[in-house]
Structure 1
Amino acid sequence: MGDEDDSIELAAASRRERLRALKAAQELMNTPDDDSAQVDDKTNDEDGTTEEQNPMKFRNYVPQDKHLQEGKLAPAVLPKFEDPVAAAPPPEKEDPFLNIAPKKPNWDLRRDVQKKLDKLEKRTQKALYKLMEEQEKQQLLTEGDDTNGAAD
């Protein structure tokens, strides 16, 4: 049990140290800047009270109240921006279609219909062969008729 008590005490001590560090950091964050310190330090010598100052500062807004207009800040001056892209010379204009090598416009149709075309080609060849055989038979018959009639 002694070990548990020691570990609890160590945890509590480390927590206290972290809280002290956080408080110190918060105090540093809350310390007044040079500008705000000057506003707070103005005191009226006659009665020893501070003059009521306007804590608001306006950069983009013009207040209607004259008392608030004292808090208007000058607009921020931006440095001149030079665009590196605009300074570069424009690239030479090339026709983008010269470098493209397109496929033939009907390449997908040929791919999809190729099997059917092969079948039709075979049928066409068979039909042409049959027509040629018929023509040869017709020629043989006409030649045979011519020879028979002349022999009489």
Structure 2
Amino acid sequence: MAEVGELQNAALKRKEKLEAMKAKRLKRDENTSQQNNENDETEKLPRPIFRSYQPMDDNLKENALTKTEPGKVEEKIQDQLEAANVKTVVEDVDLINLAPRKPDWDLKRDVAKRFEKLERRTQRAIAQLIRDRLKGCSDNLLDAVNASDALARADEDVEEND
């Protein structure tokens, strides 16, 4: 039971502190607002600017903007029309860049280095096979050389037909 009374007393003390803080803040706000009011009185108020309204009062007519006449657009339009009439020379356009590319051009570009490696390895393997064939048929060397020449010619013919 004693604890409940202590909690209530602590709550009352907190409320009093909060009220004191609020009063202090309000007093400070009042002081600053009074200072601002004094400063506002000494400062000039902003003047209104009348863009589309013509005031009746002579004092306010000073704040009205003068009417401006629109600029002449004919000259600008004429310049743009003349610029549009300039004929472009077809020789300046590179027709190779305008031609559409094959759909797989990017794949070929990316794989080209790997194909070069494979081509070198393929040539080495073919040369090794020929050497092995020549070693196996050492007694009939002339037939082996002729056979390898015939294979080379056949490969050239196939490449030319492609």
For the superposition of Structure 1 and Structure 2, which TM-score range results when normalised by the shorter chain? Answer: 0.3 to 0.5
Larger Rg: 1
TM (normalized to structure 2)?
A: 0.33
Normalising by structure 1, report the TM-score: 0.35
More helix by share: 2
